[in-house]
Amino acid sequence: MTLPDPAHAALVRLVRDEGRRVLATLVRHTGDLQLAEDAVQDAVLRALDTWPRTGVPPQPRAWMTLTARNRAVDLVRRESARTGKEAEAVRLLEPPADEPPEMLRDDQLRLVFTCCHPALALETQVALALHTLCGLSTAEVGRALLVPEATMSKRLIRAKQKIARAHIPYRVPDAAELPDRLHGVAATVYLLFTEGYGRADGATAADEALRLARLLHGLMPDEPAVLGLLALLLLQDSRRSTRFTAAGDAVPLAEQDRAQWHRPSITEGVVLVGEGLRRSPGRPDPYVVQAAIAACHALAPASCDTDWSAILSWYDVLLTVHDTPVVRLNRAVAVGECRGPQAAMAELDALATLGGYPLWHATRAELLVRLERVDEARTAFDEALALPLSEAQRRHVAGRRAAFVDEVAGERPVT
């Protein structure tokens, strides 16, 4: 039986989403990431082969967990010549005797903390967690971290090799170890949200990131980074229903219907921003500052009411605690709104290191449109389109280029 394309796509999404949760559970059972990944991959393939013929079982996650666990036992038994391997296989048949700490009962949050081991570089922690737990492809992880896919593939391989050589255990860290891993955990949750938020079909990833952020807040309610992270995600997510058209095309912030923004999320986010600022008076946390910028947008009744001076001031604060080229790129947009496109172009010209980042070229193109530098704008659009973009971003940039070309040529689409 061959499923229609929409049904098959829905089945693939279900299996993929459940597979991530099963992987988190199986890593807890086995303590072995590679074994768990191999077993879950087998369970995924079996589900995709079996369910179109038999139907999706009433409890798909339980079906996949049992299938993956049995496969893990088989894989271990193949190595039964090694001392203790048969006993290990028998152990896998039983649920783990030790229960996780009260606030770390969620297997996925446990695995994020586990992946963010301090023996690994921060970027490697985040990449491993995004790829392993969150199910992002190597290309998606590379795009999130501004690294070419081939480079990211090598980093992930080296990370797993280091884990194996150093015998880094896949275990839940003790309570005292949690703060040292928070930076990597927060970055993972934020980038998972960003990846989902940037796609019309990314609701599952965005929802999962919000769920993990709320669990983090319950676990560490007084941490400014956690307060800022949850606030930022809530404020950004409040715009979800207005960010894409029914056809999946991106709607620019200035054109979104603000009456449709989710006010309870905005209210909750603003309160969390205030709490985060109170808890970090001397040196505000970067997530809190980013949430304050998001709040400036969320509280403006209309696009023309946006307080760009306040946003620019917050970006200046952000540079004191998190000075990165991407932050400077975003700040340049605020400079353009406050001081004009020429001033913004001067800011962008100082960020030539972002030449491989498509949104740098797209931002330059928009500023060049405002400056009526036609040929340069067209070239900048083309350079953006030549680099990796999500499908929604690509359609938006291509649409902006087409509209710009039509306008310059004095042409209008036939209606």
Number of Cβ atoms within 10 Å of the Cβ of 285: 22
> What are the domain boundaries of the chain?
5-92, 102-197, 221-321, 329-409
- Percent of all residues in the chain with a pLDDT value above 90, rounded to a whole number: 46
- Burial class for 375, CB neighbours closer than 10 Å (0-12, 13-18, 19+): exposed
pLDDT tens digits for 13-40?
Answer: 788 778 878 887 888 778 777 888 888 8
The DSSP code sequence of 27-94 is HHHHS-HHHHHHHHHHHHHHHHHHHHHH---SSHHHHHHHHHHHHHHHHHHTTTTSTTHHHHHHHHTS
Question: Any idea of the CA torsion for 343, 253, 216, 327, to the nearest 10 degrees?
Answer: -10
Q: The domain at 329-409 falls in which architecture?
A: Alpha Horseshoe (1.25)
Which residue is associated with the tokens 């893990």?
Answer: 72
Q: What is the DSSP letter of 146?
A: T
Q: What is the DSSP letter of 350?
A: T
Nearest-5° Cα angle at 126, 250 to 278: 80
pLDDT tens digits for 41-57?
Answer: 899 899 989 998 888 99
Dist. CA 185–CA 230, nearest whole Å: 13
Given this model, what pLDDT does residue 78 score? 77
CA distances from 88 to 76, 151, 226 (A): 7, 36, 38
Q: Is 168 left (phi over 0), alpha (psi -120 to 50) or beta?
A: beta
Q: Is 372 helix (H, G, I), strand (E, B) or coil?
A: coil
Question: Any idea of the CA torsion for 29, 34, 35, 37, to the nearest 10 degrees?
Answer: 80
Whether residue 270 is predicted with pLDDT greater than 90 in this model: the reply is: yes
Dist. CA 266–CA 273, nearest whole Å: 10
The alpha-helical segments, DSSP class H, found in 83-223 are 85-92, 107-115, 122-132, 138-144, 149-166, 178-197, 203-219
Mean pLDDT of the chain: 86
Is the Cβ–Cβ distance between 193 and 206 less than 8 Å?
yes
Given this model, what pLDDT does residue 247 score? 87
Q: Is 244 helix (H, G, I), strand (E, B) or coil?
A: strand
Tokens of 54: 């038999």
pLDDT tens digits for 88-112?
Answer: 545 554 555 444 444 456 778 888 8
- Where is average pLDDT lowest: 51-55, 209-213, 257-261? 51-55
Q: What is the DSSP letter of 250?
A: B
- Percent of all residues in the chain with a pLDDT value above 70, rounded to a whole number: 88
Dist. CA 397–CA 361, nearest whole Å: 10
Q: When comparing pLDDT for 195 and 361, which is higher?
A: 361
Given this model, what pLDDT does residue 217 score? 94
Cβ contacts of 288 within 8 Å, gap of 6 or more? 224, 225, 227, 228, 231, 273, 276, 277, 280
Dist. CA 116–CA 182, nearest whole Å: 8
Nearest-5° Cα angle at 382, 378 to 384: 120
Considering only CA atoms, which of 310, 283, 299, 308 is closest in space to residue 228? 283
pLDDT tens digits for 178-203?
Answer: 888 899 999 999 998 998 888 877 78
- Local confidence band at 266 (pLDDT 50, 70, 90 cut-offs): very high
Q: Which pTM value belongs to this model?
A: 0.82
Q: What Rg, from alpha-carbon coordinates, does the chain have?
A: 24
Cβ contacts of 217 within 8 Å, gap of 6 or more? 226, 227, 230
Given this model, what pLDDT does residue 413 score? 42
Given this model, what pLDDT does residue 5 score? 62
